[in-house]
Amino acid sequence: MVLKKLLGSTATRSLTVVSVLSEAKTAFSRGKRTRGVLLLGLAVLAVLAWKWALLGLAAQGVLKLVRGGRSESNPA
């Protein structure tokens, strides 16, 4: 029940949107337009429907797994 309150809080949702927008900005600055557009679209959806904000966290997790834990600033 505590976890549900934490994940459903306004602060957590706002942090999720800001985090996804930050990832989109990074993707655009590195020339990864497709990824940037997808992340930007996800952030817009999260803003329009707060209940989907958790989806932003999940998407970031999946992207990190796909990258194999590598940082974009240090491509392998």
CB–CB of 22/59 below 8 Å?
Answer: no
Residue 3 confidence class, pLDDT cut points 50, 70, 90: low
Decide: pTM greater than 0.75: no
Cα angle value 59/54/71 (rounded, 5°): 35
Q: Give the domain ranges of the chain.
A: 12-57
Point out the least confidently predicted range of 16-30, 32-46, 52-66: 52-66
| 3-state secondary structure labels for all residues of 16-51 | HHHHHHHHHHHHHHCCCHHHHHHHHHHHHHHHHCHH
